[in-house]
């Protein structure tokens, strides 16, 4: 019992001693307290701690100030002192030059462009035209139209395959035609519209019906000098029905089917009909020739096909020729230097007869196609006359590099010295196969 009491008393004393003993602070708190000291104060602590004579005093001071043991205080003081030395060195050391970095340009911000969707391109569309029908001698006229969803597009109209005598006004979009009395048949024509990018087209057939024409022959024109009709031929002699100026078929010239009976056929050969000179063929400020002309082909580029020609080098030139484009032209010359030429505005059609007439009345040179005036020029000239042979279909002595044989048929050839009226020319044309009265 007594022993137990002694143990209990010792425990009470131990508890009191432990509870009264000072508690050491943590490393973080110790560091904070030491940081409050100056460099000199920290140096004194470190030097005192390293001097054994002052060990007891420093230990007691450190414990009383920081509630920590001497080793802890000394260790922490050394760490802080070394750190401050390093920081001081870094502060005093000259700063290294940092290479200047190039300044990046400020970012570019593109102007925002509003988005406009691309416009859709639509092709133009022709309104249906359809096939047409007309009689010879009657007017056929119509307008073509087209639509385009792109309202700002400019539309251009055109026509291809136009028959002789027909016209198309692209601005008014209007087709006009009065078929002649020998133009019965079917004519395909293609109409087109374009907006500059796309196009539309339609090919139609125009049917020309045969119309009643003059069912009788017409009187011969006044002033007629010679008339070679192609019907009155015997062997190689082509008879002149008026003046007795008979011609000679040569070099393979033949007879074929003409507009009025027979015709002179110069297709596929170098043939010609030659008529000797006569003073009746001289021109005294008045002249007239006509013929039905059917070309099978046109001359090569740069060459002329001879339909009629009376020529002497340096003496005279009276000629009706056809070019590579199918246009006929007339040439008259006054020696030594005046050369007059009248060219048709309309092409002849291959394999189809066209009535060609030329008149000179002392004031104008006129060219007619199918009874209508095609072209004209003012002219007052004493046309030179000479002794040249009158040739039809070819001129055998002209330079072949420029003048070539006509390829086709020539019918009802006339030569006169009095220019007929336009009505007379139309009457001869309208008589068609009846021709002139014999």
- Give pLDDT tens digits for 245-258: 999 999 999 999 99
Q: Write out the residue range of the structural domain in which residue 42 sits.
A: 36-52+59-70
What pLDDT is stored for residue 56 in this prediction?
45
Query: Per the domain annotation, does 391 fall within a domain?
Result: yes
The CATH number given to whatever domain includes residue 150 is 2.60.40.10
* pTM (2 d.p.): 0.58
Query: Per the domain annotation, does 247 fall within a domain?
Result: yes
Same domain assignment for residues 279 and 327: yes
Query: Per the domain annotation, does 100 fall within a domain?
Result: no
Same domain assignment for residues 195 and 257: no
Number of domains in the chain: 3
Query: Per the domain annotation, does 12 fall within a domain?
Result: no
Average pLDDT of the chain to the nearest whole number: 85
How far is 44 from 37, CA to CA, in rounded Å?
10
Residue 219 has pLDDT above 70, yes or no: yes
Non-local CB neighbours of 218 within 8 Å, separated by 6+ positions: 427, 428, 430, 431, 434, 435, 436, 437
Percent of the chain that is helix, strand, coil (3-state, to 5)? 20, 35, 45
Same domain assignment for residues 275 and 150: no
Same domain assignment for residues 151 and 233: no
Q: Dihedrals φ, ψ of 206, to 5°?
A: -105, 120
Same domain assignment for residues 138 and 187: yes
Same domain assignment for residues 142 and 246: no
Residue 375 has pLDDT above 80, yes or no: yes
Of 209, 240, 261, the last residue of a domain is 209
Same domain assignment for residues 198 and 307: no
Of 176, 209, 242, the last residue of a domain is 209
Q: Dihedrals φ, ψ of 187, to 5°?
A: -125, 110
Query: Per the domain annotation, does 120 fall within a domain?
Result: no
Same domain assignment for residues 172 and 257: no
Same domain assignment for residues 291 and 255: yes
Query: Per the domain annotation, does 2 fall within a domain?
Result: no
Residue 360 pLDDT class (50, 70, 90 cuts): very high
pLDDT tens across 64-116, in order? 555 667 777 778 778 888 887 777 777 766 555 555 555 556 555 556 666 67
Same domain assignment for residues 201 and 239: no
How far is 395 from 315, CA to CA, in rounded Å?
16
Query: Per the domain annotation, does 166 fall within a domain?
Result: yes
Query: Per the domain annotation, does 200 fall within a domain?
Result: yes
Question: Which residues share a beta bridge with 408?
Answer: 295
The CATH number given to whatever domain includes residue 395 is 2.60.120.200
């Amino acid at each position: 019992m007594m022993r137990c009491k002694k143990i209990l008393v010792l425990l009470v004393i131990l508890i009191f001693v432990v509870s009264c003993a000072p508690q050491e602070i943590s490393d973080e708190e110790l560091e904070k307290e030491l940081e409050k000291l100056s460099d000199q104060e920290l140096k004194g602590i470190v030097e005192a701690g390293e001097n054994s004579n002052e060990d007891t005093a420093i230990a007691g001071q450190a414990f009383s100030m920081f509630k920590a043991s001497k080793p802890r205080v000394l260790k922490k003081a050394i760490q802080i002192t070394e750190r401050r030395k390093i920081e001081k060195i870094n502060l005093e050391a000259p700063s290294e030059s940092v290479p200047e970095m190039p300044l990046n340009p400020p970012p570019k911000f593109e102007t925002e462009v509003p988005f406009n969707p691309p416009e859709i391109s639509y092709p133009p569309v022709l309104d249906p035209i359809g096939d047409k029908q007309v009689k010879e001698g009657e007017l056929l006229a119509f307008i073509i139209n087209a639509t385009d969803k792109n309202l700002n597009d400019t539309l251009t109209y055109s026509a291809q395959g136009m028959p002789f005598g027909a016209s198309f006004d692209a601005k008014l979009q209007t087709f006009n035609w009065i078929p002649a009395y020998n133009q019965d048949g079917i004519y395909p024509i293609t109409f087109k519209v374009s907006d500059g990018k796309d196009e539309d087209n339609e090919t139609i057939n125009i049917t020309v019906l045969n119309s009643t024409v003059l069912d009788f022959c017409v009187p011969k024109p006044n002033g007629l000098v010679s008339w070679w009709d192609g019907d009155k031929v015997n062997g190689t002699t082509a008879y002149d029905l008026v003046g007795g100026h008979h011609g000679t078929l040569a070099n393979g010239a033949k007879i074929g089917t003409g507009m009025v009976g027979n015709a002179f056929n110069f297709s596929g050969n170098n043939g010609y009909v030659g008529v000797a000179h006569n003073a009746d063929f001289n021109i005294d400020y008045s002249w007239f020739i006509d013929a039905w002309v059917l070309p099978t082909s046109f001359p090569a580029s740069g060459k002329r096909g001879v339909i009629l020609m009376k020529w002497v080098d340096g003496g005279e030139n009276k000629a009706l020729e056809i070019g590579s484009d199918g246009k006929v032209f007339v040439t008259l010359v006054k020696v030594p230097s005046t050369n007059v030429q009248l060219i048709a505005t309309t092409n002849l059609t291959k394999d189809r007869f066209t009535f060609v007439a030329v008149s000179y009345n002392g004031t104008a040179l006129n060219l007619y196609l199918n009874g209508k005036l095609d072209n004209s020029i003012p002219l007052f000239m004493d046309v030179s006359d000479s002794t040249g042979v009158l040739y039809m279909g070819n001129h055998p002595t002209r330079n072949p590099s420029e003048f070539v044989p006509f390829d086709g048929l020539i019918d009802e050839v006339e030569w006169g010295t009095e220019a007929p009226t336009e009505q007379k020319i139309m009457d001869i044309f309208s008589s068609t196969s009846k021709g002139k009265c014999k």
